[in-house]
Amino acid sequence: MRQVSSKLKVNDKVEVIAGKDKGRVGKVLRFEDAGHRVVVEHINMIKRHQKSRSANQPGQIVEREASIDISNVMLVCPECAATVRTGHKTLDNGSKVRICKKCQATIETPKK
């Protein structure tokens, strides 16, 4: 499967624009399926039944995030706080950065 170029990165703040969680905002945790799907913090929660592993550990129901298609999320600009499209700009030192198409602000990905 080929890699899909994405305008999103891990730790970006995104808003869901389609589906059951439409309008909710969360942080990108990871990419799956060669970049076609994304896992967003506290979005698309599912329940998984976990079998007991040993006699002293009981079985349980675990809630976790499931992936959603990357086309259903949109980046939230940290400056103008709106969902935006992104562009690229080359700085004077030769590095390439993402910019907000609405306010032209540089979009920095927060480090962990």
pLDDT tens figures, 19-61: 999 999 999 999 998 889 999 999 999 999 999 999 899 999 9
Q: Do residues 4 and 101 touch, judged by C-beta distance below 8 A?
A: no
pLDDT tens figures, 72-86: 999 999 999 999 999
Query: Based on C-alpha coordinates, what's the Rg of the chain?
Result: 17
pLDDT tens figures, 55-112: 899 999 999 999 999 999 999 999 999 999 999 999 899 888 999 999 999 998 666 5
* CATH number among 2.30.30.30, 3.40.50.300, 3.30.300.130, 3.40.50.1100, domain 13-81: 2.30.30.30
Burial class (CB in 10 A: 0-12, 13-18, 19+), 52: exposed
**∠ CA 71-27-3, rounded to 5°:** 45
pTM of the predicted structure, to 2 decimals: 0.83
Which residue, 78, 110, 108, 74, is CA-closest to 91?
108
Say which residue, 14 or 112, is predicted with more confidence.
14
